[in-house]
Structure 1
Amino acid sequence: MHPTPSISRDLPFHPGPFGTFTEGLDYAARGDTGFNFYSARGELTAVLPYRELRERAIAAARGLIRSGLARGARMVLIADTVPDFMVLFAACQYAGLLPVPVALPTGLGGRDSYIATLRRQIQSCGAAAAMAPAELLDYLKEAAAGTSATVVGSAAEFLALPDDGAELRPFAADESCYLQFSSGSTRFPKGIDVPQRALMANAHAIAIDGLGLVPGDRAVSWLPLYHDMGLVGFMLSPLLSQVTVDYLATRDFARRPLMWPTLISQNRATLSYSPTFGYDLCSRRVSEGRLATPDLDLSCWRIAGIGGDMIQPHVLERFGAAFASCRFDPKAFLPSYGMAEAVLAISFSPRNQGMLTDAVDRGRLAEEGRAVPADPRSDDSRRFVLCGRPLTGHVAEIRGEDGEVLPDRMIGRLFVKGPSLMAGYYGQPEETARVLSADGWLDTGDLGYSLDGALVITGRAKDLIIIAGRNIWPQDLEWSVEESLDLKRNDACAFSIEGPEGQEQVVMLVVSRQTDAAERETLRQGAQSLLQRAHGIEARIALVGPRDIPHTSSGKIARARAKAAYLAGHFQEGGADAAPSR
């Protein structure tokens, strides 16, 4: 078994745009490139050339059609980094079924929590069918029981369906391509309806504007395929540009992060992406003396992309220093900005310039909403990373509270418009209308400013928390604690703060009505343990009095005010020694 090559011998490089996904796969299948899968130890475990992907997908599509699934039906696919997931995703395209990639268990959360989330996703999209890896099939069956998903099985079972006699019915250019669940609330999931035209537009813009693809480019990825950066950035877009991709499963990257740069070096890859925390994890392993491959050569890595969370400049600088001896060029850093509601990418910084930053005065940023330049060496400054100009055909505006377009360096809410936007949230017209205007402007929910045409993201207007690349809604954390610890509604308030090294840290205020120190400590530890078990996060817990959590006039928790009070020192962390405030 040998990995697919980086370039096809007889097929001209053609990064689109194609009319549909199936048109793109039909073209890529004429060449020699494809997907390769590696173990945590760097062993090649499977190879899936695009030619074979197409053949297997068409056979599987006929089986899905023969099973009686109606055209347009939704099929939930638990997205493991294995060939079978990719085959069934592509099979859905040829069968006219709408694939819905969903997450694997994190390994840290509880079984019941995962099954409940999976059930909500099935119900939200009205799935008719659902697939799981064999080891998760019992989870899926329990989640699907009593729902619209009546055709449930393992990947092997779906791939073994009889495939004779069925006529293919692929999606047309004006139809949908897939549903992507937003990585926000798991209690009220929203399926982003991604049209074929939007995927084609975004994939082409990524290839040309963003990455500047050339024949022979090769990618390496450990990103999960249920997330837009993994699915679009390192499965769909490379396929639509005939680029070979080498995969390391996300769980294997977590165990052995240095296998990521090792694969880049070994296979002479030119493209790879990560949220900031991936670069952080690697540089920390190097600082611990754990560079397993002394002859690592990263001079081939021309695009080291960053996205998926707030970009932390000092982390990337530390990575550059840690791998300087391996010939990593910091000019390869390519900050970008995007979101699943825009398929994936909205803007890219210029290539071959590395990470560009803007140092601003912290105080004036908070007080005036203005990014006033400051000395980057000053303790009163904060650096933000420039995420570049919007993709060709896309426009962005920074707007004030009254909807007016703001000048450079004024903080406002970011709106974007262009051919890559979603059709809407599947089956949720009210939620769609809340963020997508009739004239095509998407409210990203993010805050930032413009600087000579480049976008600078400063935070999120919404309450979304991002920890190590994971998007977490504070409501999910609050509800878990309230329900599990038998607290009253609105007795918990979650938000994030900036940790000592710029990373996000979850804080939760929990109302305690106990006066006994031991009981209070039990409550604190119970909340902390639950958040670890059910959500896989570490949180600071501060016990507060019954009237200490601020609320809006309509009775909603005012998280911004709670966060400000916490940072001002109004609440104490701890249990046994922290008394309720009066």
Structure 2
Amino acid sequence: MFSTLNEALNHHTVLEERGITFIEGESQSEFCSFAELYRSSMSALHLLRKNGVSEGSEVILQLDNTREFLVIFWACLLGGFIPVPLTVSKNEESMAKTLRVTGVLNRPFIVAESRHVEELREHLSRIPDRNCDLLNIQDLINQNLEHQEQPISAHPDDVAFIQFSSGTTGEPKGVKLTHRKLLANIYDLEERLGATSEDAFLNWMPLTHDLGMIMFHLLPLVAGLNQYQMPTWLFIRRPVLWLQTASHFKATMLASPNFGIKYFLNAYHKAANQRSFDWNLTPIKAIVNGAEPIDVDACRQFLDEMAVFGLDGKSMKMGYGMAEACVAVCIQEQNEAFTTYYVRRDTLSVGDQAVFLSSEDEAGLALSGTGTPLRNSQVRICDDSGRTLPKGYIGYIQIKGANITDGYYNNEEATNKLFTPDEWAHTGDLGFLIHNHLVFTGRTKDIIIINGSNYYPYDIERIAEECTDLKIKRMIACGVYNEATGTEEVVLFVLYRDKLEEFGRHADQIRRHVNHVMGIHLSVILPISKIHQTTSGKLQRYKYIEKYKEGAFQKVEDELSKWQEMREQKALVHRPKDATQQALFEIWSKLLGKKYFGVHDSFFEIGGTSILVIQMLEEVDLLYPDVITLTDIFAYPSVEQLAQLISSSDGLSKKEIQLQAVQLEAPYFEAEWSGAENQYRMVMSSSQRDRFQTFCHELQVADEAVWLALFSNAIYEISTGSKVTVHTMMDGKGWIVPFHVDFAQVESIEDLLVLAGAKKKVGEAEVYHTRDIERHVTRIEPGYVRCLFAQKGWLHTEDALHNVFDMIMEWEDLKDTSELFFRYNPSRMNGVLMKELFQTVADSIESLLSVDRVTNISVSQ
């Protein structure tokens, strides 16, 4: 076993075949061996030292690029610096968090991308006596740098890095994590997960989060195992790619919090309506679920639906942990399915004995077990007086073990509050133990978790109180779990004693400001007439949550909804003026669930969030491909502004599109205008359809992949070369994806079918939209033809695409049959030879579906 993380990386420098694969897209990835990581980090260490960073210096990491982030992280460890990973500032509040963190540290260096360096410098200049040195990442990455640097000899009790909780924006507390404590937790997790030399870890969680950094980067590195790092933004934009990547690379260890599971399922359901998947999820041993409250129903649905791809029903591993414990305290055993406990809702207070009900009882709250404590971790449940409670009783979760932090960095007061007199650590959470399994029931801390990030109520209150012109600015923010969506939502209660019809104006003002500053949407804002607090002045938030759940505010909500709708209808004077504005208006309305807003309203002030921005970009791209970017949406946040940008960009776009074509012999271009029939159709009989589906099932290919393969093969037989390109419209109306095949590399029809089934999908390189093709396609050279394969109904006879493509084949699956449609350009192509081409496709199908062939395939498979 290693005594420091530095030892682990140094030991693995001999492993050129093991390392990190950085996922950048469906077919885009970059491998970095552990040896290469070490070399790059040592080069960065040399440059860091040249810039004045010395042993013991704190280094804040403000980096979006995963590879650069890890190079600097390890350069810090190798140099004896203390890395401080922080999410890159994306709004005013996250910038404020970064600035507050600099106040906790001594004199930190900040490594950031060039575009952030100047912004950070400007903000820091406004704070008196705040000394920070800013370093540009571009000045620290040099792969070919020659140097004579040597790493320091780290001690097991040195601070490896400081972990600040994700989303912390109040008074940040930095958890000190030493090499010794990290390795204790890492080795315990390696044992619990049963990691072997054959395992591979796939991660989309941010490396600023303890789950992403410790369990899915440091653990596989210490164990010398391959790891695959997918940036969080890529998962948010293309969640289905998560399991597609797992299948492709045969990943065995994955992780996702509850919101990620639900987010994936929503995207998967949409994608499954348009395409089929051939994933193999059998290798997956564990999908670790933690970091926020667990939605039992969503997890079961996920396991049930993914079972068709071979996912083990026991693979979902629930866990419990916190930054103060490095990452994990409890996690389920190998080969153990997660257990659901249905506990009566009114027996969940401290000191109550949990009353278990059947799953059908509506009074029961479904709670997931989070497994047993790890080898070096201990858990106990205590009452208000600190006395240990028996098994099955609800109380405060306290933890102890070799992985528990020594305290908070430069914060003795918070450190003292963390521990009990007998040196157990407070978690601030509630739960109970049953059969040595921990069941988490809720949090006593005021943290509100939204999409895996933590928000403090007093921060929300402070920001909300900044903007309103209310006479009395008293507000209470609470987190309420929405069972319908499986997420936590923010409800803001506002002390208000004026006319109810005027409250909506203040609520809108608050909602827009909080969204703008913090990037979160206040789901509900309600007026209250009294502030509940203890004699010491502490707000009693739980009273508002209880009343809200009981429906005590329903009447007020109904009244506010009526006033709000009336007000919005009166205010809606700026309606869409043209087709572009109307299209954007409809996209926003669908995503935001709103009908009443104007073209001047900011997307972010009426409920837009970072996740919705990505979804909106995808929707806009369907109509206006490659015209706008995420940055544009932030810079032009209203319908009117964005529509104007789209219109101007559309008009300015002059880039020509060169669609690849296939060269044919001269006789194919002896066109026959007179009486030429340029359309043909083939209908499968019922028996043919049955045999066809049997064939597809045996080879595990989709129907359309077979059609595409046969069409490509027929074109190859009449072409002058071995390379054929057939453009396809199979994955979405309007999207053209080229299918390239070099028949010199194809040995059998089965090989061709595999290629056709694995063609590039929408979202990858070399994807075009029909609108762009119609406007900007280049003229075709004499002797060449462009070919298109599309789903029936996605083209219309009046489409300009019929003037772009010389041969078009369409397929349609009906209830009892399948049909093929073929048309060609009679002004260029010879009708007799085109008929022969289509007959070749039909004959190929007959040959493919011969009884002997299907039988032989069945036997060989």
Identify whether the pair has TM-score above 0.5, normalized to the shorter chain: yes
Q: In structure 1, what is the equivalent of residue 288 of structure 2?
A: 305
Distance 1:241 1:379 in 2: 46
Distance 1:170 1:73 in 2: 16
Tell me if the contact between 1:482 and 1:489 (Cα under 8 Å) persists in the aligned partners: no
Root mean square deviation of aligned Cα: 2.3
Q: What is the deviation of 1:137?
A: 2.7
Distance 1:428 1:366, change over 3 A: closer
Q: In structure 2, what is the equivalent of residue 131 of structure 1?
A: 111
Q: Which has the higher contact order (CA 8 A, sep 6+)?
A: 1
For 2:354, the aligned partner's letter is: A
For 1:37, the aligned partner's letter is: F
Q: In structure 1, what is the equivalent of residue 60 of structure 2?
A: 76
Distance 1:64 1:489 in 2: 51
Q: In structure 2, what is the equivalent of residue 343 of structure 1?
A: 326
Q: What is the deviation of 1:244?
A: 1.1
Within 5 Å, which residues of 2 pair with 1:182-193? Answer: 182-183=165-166, 185-193=168-176
Deviations 1:8-59 (A, max 9, x none): xxxxxxxxx31111101011222121111112x3233432211011111122
Q: Which residue among 241, 248, 254 is the counterpart of 2:236?
A: 254
SS in 2 for 1:323: helix
SS in 2 for 1:288: helix
Q: In structure 1, what is the equivalent of residue 120 of structure 2?
A: 140
Tell me if the contact between 2:158 and 2:178 (Cα under 8 Å) persists in the aligned partners: yes
Q: In structure 2, what is the equivalent of residue 35 of structure 1?
A: 20
Distance 2:427 2:186 in 1: 20
SS in 2 for 1:543: strand
Tell me if the contact between 2:351 and 2:395 (Cα under 8 Å) persists in the aligned partners: no
Distance 1:143 1:205, change over 3 A: farther
Deviations 1:556-580 (A, max 9, x none): 321112222323334333647589x
Within 5 Å, which residues of 2 pair with 1:288-303? Answer: 288-290=270-272, 294-303=277-286
Distance 2:333 2:229 in 1: 26
Deviations 1:340-364 (A, max 9, x none): 1110010111222222111222233
Q: Which residue among 466, 479, 487 is the counterpart of 1:496?
A: 479
For 1:527, the aligned partner's letter is: I
Q: In structure 1, what is the equivalent of residue 348 of structure 2?
A: 365
Distance 2:188 2:351 in 1: 36
Deviations 1:66-122 (A, max 9, x none): 32223211000014242111011000011111000001245xxx3x32322211112
Tell me if the contact between 2:57 and 2:108 (Cα under 8 Å) persists in the aligned partners: yes
Tell me if the contact between 1:400 and 1:412 (Cα under 8 Å) persists in the aligned partners: yes
Distance 1:135 1:324, change over 3 A: farther
2:226 is equivalent to residue 244 of structure 1: yes
Tell me if the contact between 1:286 and 1:322 (Cα under 8 Å) persists in the aligned partners: no
Within 5 Å, which residues of 2 pair with 1:282-431? Answer: 282-290=264-272, 294-365=277-348, 369-431=352-414
Segments of structure 2 that go 5 or more residues without pairing to the other structure are 565-861
Tell me if the contact between 1:400 and 1:413 (Cα under 8 Å) persists in the aligned partners: yes
2:257 is equivalent to residue 275 of structure 1: yes
Tell me if the contact between 2:431 and 2:441 (Cα under 8 Å) persists in the aligned partners: yes
Distance 1:103 1:489 in 2: 35
Q: In structure 2, what is the equivalent of residue 225 of structure 1?
A: 207
For 2:504, the aligned partner's letter is: E
Distance 1:309 1:489, change over 3 A: farther
Within 5 Å, which residues of 2 pair with 1:95-114? Answer: 95-105=79-89, 110=91, 112-114=92-94
Distance 1:375 1:302 in 2: 29
Deviations 1:418-453 (A, max 9, x none): 110112111110011111246431101110000011
Distance 2:94 2:108 in 1: 20
SS in 1 for 2:510: helix
Q: Which residue among 517, 528, 536 is the counterpart of 1:534?
A: 517
Distance 2:67 2:171 in 1: 30
Distance 1:74 1:130, change over 3 A: same
Distance 1:366 1:437 in 2: 21
Distance 1:129 1:163 in 2: 24
Distance 2:150 2:519 in 1: 45
For 2:310, the aligned partner's letter is: R
Q: In structure 1, what is the equivalent of residue 187 of structure 2?
A: 204
Distance 2:420 2:508 in 1: 45
Q: What is the deviation of 1:60?
A: 1.7
Distance 2:445 2:400 in 1: 19
2:433 is equivalent to residue 450 of structure 1: yes
Q: In structure 2, what is the equivalent of residue 510 of structure 1?
A: 494
Distance 1:536 1:322 in 2: 33
For 1:462, the aligned partner's letter is: K
Distance 1:368 1:58 in 2: 54
For 1:24, the aligned partner's letter is: A
Tell me if the contact between 1:414 and 1:445 (Cα under 8 Å) persists in the aligned partners: yes
2:65 is equivalent to residue 121 of structure 1: no
Which stretch has the larger CA shift, 368-377 or 86-95?
A: 368-377
Q: In structure 2, what is the equivalent of residue 9 of structure 1?
A: none
2:45 is equivalent to residue 61 of structure 1: yes
Which stretch has the larger CA shift, 62-71 or 411-420?
A: 62-71
Deviations 1:142-162 (A, max 9, x none): 344356553212212133598
For 1:176, the aligned partner's letter is: V
Q: In structure 2, what is the equivalent of residue 24 of structure 1?
A: 8
Distance 1:34 1:160, change over 3 A: closer
SS in 1 for 2:255: strand
Which stretch has the larger CA shift, 307-316 or 365-374?
A: 365-374
Tell me if the contact between 2:430 and 2:441 (Cα under 8 Å) persists in the aligned partners: yes
SS in 2 for 1:330: coil
Distance 2:102 2:385 in 1: 38
Q: In structure 2, what is the equivalent of residue 12 of structure 1?
A: none
2:530 is equivalent to residue 548 of structure 1: yes
Of all paired residues, the percent bearing the same amino acid is 28
Tell me if the contact between 2:257 and 2:290 (Cα under 8 Å) persists in the aligned partners: yes
SS in 1 for 2:348: helix
Distance 1:150 1:468, change over 3 A: closer
For 2:158, the aligned partner's letter is: E
SS in 2 for 1:60: helix
Tell me if the contact between 2:350 and 2:396 (Cα under 8 Å) persists in the aligned partners: no
Distance 1:576 1:315, change over 3 A: closer
Tell me if the contact between 2:349 and 2:395 (Cα under 8 Å) persists in the aligned partners: no
Tell me if the contact between 2:325 and 2:405 (Cα under 8 Å) persists in the aligned partners: yes
Distance 1:234 1:142 in 2: 35
2:216 is equivalent to residue 234 of structure 1: yes
Within 5 Å, which residues of 2 pair with 1:472-487? Answer: 472-486=455-469
Distance 1:289 1:491, change over 3 A: same
Q: What is the deviation of 1:500?
A: 3.0
For 1:363, the aligned partner's letter is: D
Tell me if the contact between 2:349 and 2:394 (Cα under 8 Å) persists in the aligned partners: no
TM-score after normalising by structure 1? 0.90
Q: What is the deviation of 1:476?
A: 1.2
Q: What is the deviation of 1:520?
A: 1.8
Which stretch has the larger CA shift, 144-153 or 497-506?
A: 144-153
Tell me if the contact between 2:45 and 2:79 (Cα under 8 Å) persists in the aligned partners: yes
Distance 1:575 1:269 in 2: 50
Q: What is the deviation of 1:488?
A: 7.0
Tell me if the contact between 1:62 and 1:163 (Cα under 8 Å) persists in the aligned partners: no
More helix per residue: 2
Distance 1:163 1:488 in 2: 65
Tell me if the contact between 2:93 and 2:169 (Cα under 8 Å) persists in the aligned partners: no
Distance 1:449 1:79, change over 3 A: farther
For 2:284, the aligned partner's letter is: W
